[in-house]
Every structure is written in structure tokens, then in C-alpha cells.
Amino acid sequence: MKGFGGKYVPPRAMIAVTLAIAVLGWAMKQAIVVRTDVGMGTGKLAAQVAHASLSAVEQADSRRRDQWKRGGQKKVVLDGESERQLHELATIADQNGLPNAIIRDAGHTQLEPGTVTALAIGPAAEDAIDRVTGELSLL
Amino acid sequence: MKGFGGKYVPPRAMIAVTLAIAVLGWAMKQAIVVRTDVGMGTGKLAAQVAHASLSAVEQADSRRRDQWKRGGQKKVVLDGESERQLHELATIADQNGLPNAIIRDAGHTQLEPGTVTALAIGPAAEDAIDRVTGELSLL
């Protein structure tokens, strides 16, 4: 049997690794889509990503949350292009039962008050997240 | 009595505003110091900031955490220059009883494994945070 880059791996070992991944949460992640069309500076952008991340973690049930943390709380930050796109992705996440949170900026600096800046989806199974955000590029 | 940009404000109103700020948590914040000397891309940097933010929130007691959230979970992202600086700031935060978390990157991409990338301090009272990070520039 072939696996892991073509090296021979006995099937039983493959099953063990798969189980370990499932239990330890290596296959969990959170995706944060942040708008790059509104001209935020790096610090502002990072703060909005953190805001979204934390808010979506609070939406997640404790099982998902713990599993994700045990796996090193994997996060990917993705390039978002419009408010409309973020709302559409959030709707799909809702339809798939994935925890998610959209952030609106209070607008004290740089942006108009109420500007949608970021959307976080997950923590959830990596493949479930990819089905929603798989088309987007890493920032 | 003068206050709020020089307009006349009766003392009783000043006291009420001060109390409201204390109760509602407007004066709470979290500072995240992220290293800009290691050449992370924007998405990577934002992910490290989110990682630090979440980890320090978990270190905070529930009173501070709730107060900060009610106040809109204010975050500032600051420009960090070295691993040594982050460790020194974390030590000062510890000495002042402020929740904090240092992040080391797993090093799957862009960085050497174990590279210190970010430090979050707080949520805590804004002036307590400023006493530790007040010299740093906003990113």
C-alpha cells in the first residue's frame, strides 16, 4: 500500500495514524477570510483577524474547540475581496453547521464605522472548512 | 470644570462617565506585540497575532475577560523587534500580574521551528498595559 509521499506504509499503521489525527485534532482548523480591498494597514488587519478568530471560537462547541486546541489551533488567513463575498461564505458556513463570525469595525480609525472586515469559520474539520473556503488564496 | 476636549462638563457627569467606563470595560484592552524582524508575510503575521490573542485571553480571569468583551474587546497590534524584547516584556507583564502568552511557531512554513513570533498581554486595564508596552509603536 502506498501513502505519505509514496513510501510503503502497512495498512494497520495507516489506520493508527488516521485515528491519531482524528483524536488529537491534527485535522482541525480555522479559516479567517480578511478583506484586502478596504486598505487596512498590517496591524489593523491583524487585529481584525484576531477579533474574528476569537469570536468564532466562542461559537464552537467545546468538543470542537478542545480538539482544535490539542492539535495546535491551526489557523489559515485567506484573501477576501468584498463584503458580499464574506456574507456569502458565512451563509454557506451556516448551512453546513460550521461555527462562524463576521466582524464589523467600530470605525475609530482607518475605516467607516460598521465596515465588515473579516469572517472566521471554524474550528472544524479541515475538509469541512475547505469545502467552504477552498477557492480562496492564502494571504 | 474642563474635560473632554475643553468643553465644560459638570463634575457629576464626569464621575458618571468614569463609572460607566469602569463598569462597561471601555478602558480594558489587549496589546499584541508581533515581531517584524523575521520577515513574516501578512497572513502569517495575522495568524500569529490571533494565536497570541486567544492564548492570553485564556490566561485571563473571567472577570477581566468579560469586562473586556463588553467593551468591544479592544486590541492593539504593536511593532516588536526581537525575541529578547518579547521575553523581557513578558517578564514585566508577569511581575505586574498581567495575563500574557508568548507564541512559538511550529515552523511548518516561512520560519525555523520554535521561532518566537508574538506576545499578547491582557486583557487588562488600559493603563496597566500601557505601563508595559507604552514605548512601542503601533504596527
Query: A2-17: per-residue pLDDT in tens?
Result: 445 556 666 777 777 6
pLDDT of residue B12: 78
Query: Is the reported ipTM for this assembly greater than 0.85?
Result: no
Which residues of A make CB contacts under 8 Å with B? 32, 34, 41-47, 49-51, 53-54, 57, 72-73, 75-79, 106, 138-139
Mutation target for B interface from A33, A42, A44: give the one with most B CBs within 10 A. A42
Question: Average pLDDT, stretch B90-107?
Answer: 94
Q: B25 vs chain A: nearest CA distance in angstroms?
A: 15
Among all chains, which residue has been given the C-alpha cell 491534527? A26
Query: Tell me, what amino acid is at A19?
Result: L
CB contact under 8 A, B49 and A54: no
* Of B10, B34, B15, B13, nearest in space to B121 by CA: B34
CB contact under 8 A, B54 and A53: yes
d(CA A119, CA A100): 7
Q: Is the model more confident about B111 or about B117? A: B117
pTM score over 0.90: no
Query: B40-81: per-residue pLDDT in tens?
Result: 999 999 999 999 999 999 999 999 999 999 988 999 999 999
The crossing angle, in degrees rounded to 10, of helices A126-133 and A83-95 is 140
**A&B contacts, CB < 8 Å:** 77
Beta bridge partners of A104: A116
Flag whether pLDDT at B26 surpasses 70: no
Kindly state the DSSP code that residue B71 receives in the 8-state scheme: T
Query: Tell me, what amino acid is at A16?
Result: A
Query: A61-115: per-residue pLDDT in tens?
Result: 999 999 999 988 999 999 999 999 999 999 999 999 999 999 998 877 788 888 9
Q: A83 vs chain B: nearest CA distance in angstroms?
A: 19
Question: Average pLDDT, stretch B96-119?
Answer: 90
SS (H, E, C) B5-38: CCCECCHHHHHHHHHHHHHHCCCEEEEEEEECCC
Q: Are A73 and A123 in contact (CB under 8 A)?
A: yes
Confidence class for position B109, pLDDT limits 50, 70, 90: confident
- Name the 3-class secondary structure at A125: strand
